[in-house]
Amino acid sequence: MSSGLVTSRRNRRTPYTDSVEKLGVSGYSIVNHTLLPKSFQRTVQEDYWHLKAHVQLWDVGCQRQVELRGPDAARLAQWMTPRDLREMRVGQCFYAPLIDEKAGLLNDPVVIKRAEDWFWFSIADSDILLWAKGLALGMNLNVEVSEPDVWPLAVQGPKAETLVARVFGDEIREARYFEFQERPFCDRTLVVARSGYSKQGGFEIYLDDGTRGDELWETLWDAGHDLEVSPGCPNLIERIEGGLLSYGNEMTRENNPLEINLDRFCHFGNEIEFIGQSALADIAALGPSQRMRGLLIEGDSCPPCGKPWPVVCDGIPIGQVTSAIWSPSLKHNVGLSLIDQNFWSSNVQVQVALPDGSMRKAVVTPLPFTQASQVANQ
């Protein structure tokens, strides 16, 4: 099926694009100038239930890698993030916010430590390659900054471990969350990490040869027929329920890590140095003016949240909804929202202004969403 999207070198295909097209991809988004499948033949709800029960292959080749390699790689990696990387071991993956000189969020990648002098930053949607190159040149560091020929493929869902073990061996079962192993595949050795953009469990496979995409996809596909393997993509319902954040939606350079509840990924001592350190310390001393919270929104299924929806309390603007959708599990509309300090406590009653001008009652809840929070706030 044609996606209706005319591509060019500016909108890059991935090594898996041919495979997802054969399997009926029906829509794309563009992330890092690269195609990201957004829908197939199922509805979002049908895809949600399949993801929670079976296993899916996701073309996430758009998660481009920024590679730091050389004697000063560790120094540059630490300079780029407020997360303390000193105790990071080879074989680990760290979620690490990147900030600018004013503590504005630039990206929220997963950092993969291949060796003491070798890091991959698996980035969300922004041009971190250029940022890292500029820093390396400006600081006169002895480090090579590049975008390698590396293309992640995600295997997500409760049956993901079974499928990945069939292809890469039972040893992969020993990998803990946010750890990777180097596993044999045909004549290569690939990084296979227990990670992914869902709460259903899974792995991300880092293919380091863009000519082998069909081979990797077909091997996993053939091994997963009895597991009801299916093509898929990050599911909006599952993402919001799980409190998983999307750079460009929940956060931009206008936000700091504390607003987005990333405090635990920031170091506030003086033992390390990073860009935006003093600005972040000032924000921490005063406390953030807003926080990311969940909202349970009343009424029938809400429309897509194409732009932020105002949140008010007694007529006073107090925040905005950044993402929202109907949850078939919670029987509520669920939303991710930035809420002002005086209103972000659980069970605060608010109203949400929808694009059609109507107002919906809503209640503030912690993240991630759970059945318990839904019942408690009825």
Enumerate the domain spans of the chain: 17-62+149-240, 65-146, 289-378
CATH architecture of 289-378: Beta Barrel (2.40)
Q: Given this model, what pLDDT does residue 8 score?
A: 75
Q: Beta-carbon neighbour count of residue 24 at 10 Å?
A: 13
pLDDT above 60 (res 377): no
Task: Tell me the two tokens of residue 38.
Answer: 């957004």
What is the tens place of the pLDDT at every residue in 152-189?
999 999 999 999 999 999 999 999 999 999 999 999 99
pLDDT of residue 378 exceeding 90, the answer is: no
Beta-carbon neighbour count of residue 192 at 10 Å? 24
> In Å, how far from its chain's centre is CA 321?
18
State yes or no: pLDDT of 7 exceeds 90: no
Residue 285 CB coordination number (10 Å): 8
Band of residue 1 on the pLDDT scale cut at 50, 70, 90:
very low
* Residue of higher predicted confidence among 371 and 278: 278
Architecture field, domain 65-146: 2-Layer Sandwich (3.30)
Q: Give me 94's structure tokens.
A: 């760290």
> In the CATH scheme, what is the code of domain 17-62+149-240?
3.30.1360.120
Q: What is the pLDDT of residues 35-44, one digit of tens each?
A: 999 999 999 9
Listed residue (201, 119, 206) closest to 168, CA to CA = 206
Share of the chain above pLDDT 70, in %: 96
Nearest to 351 by CA among 375, 377, 321, 306: 321
- The CA-CA-CA angle for residues 95, 281, 85, to 5°, reads 30
pLDDT in tens, 307-362: 999 999 999 999 999 999 999 999 999 999 999 999 999 999 999 999 999 999 99
Q: Say what the pLDDT of residue 4 is.
A: 60
Predicted pLDDT of residue 9: 76
pLDDT of 96 over the 60 cut: yes
Residue-level pLDDT at 10 = 83
Has residue 218 got a pLDDT over 80?
yes
Percentage of the chain lying above the pLDDT 90 cut: 93
Would 17-62+149-240 and 289-378 be classified into the same CATH topology? no
Q: What is the average pLDDT score of the chain?
A: 95
Lowest mean per-residue pLDDT among 2-16, 54-68, 108-122: 2-16
Question: Quick one: average pLDDT of 21-47?
Answer: 95
More confident residue, 62 or 374: 62
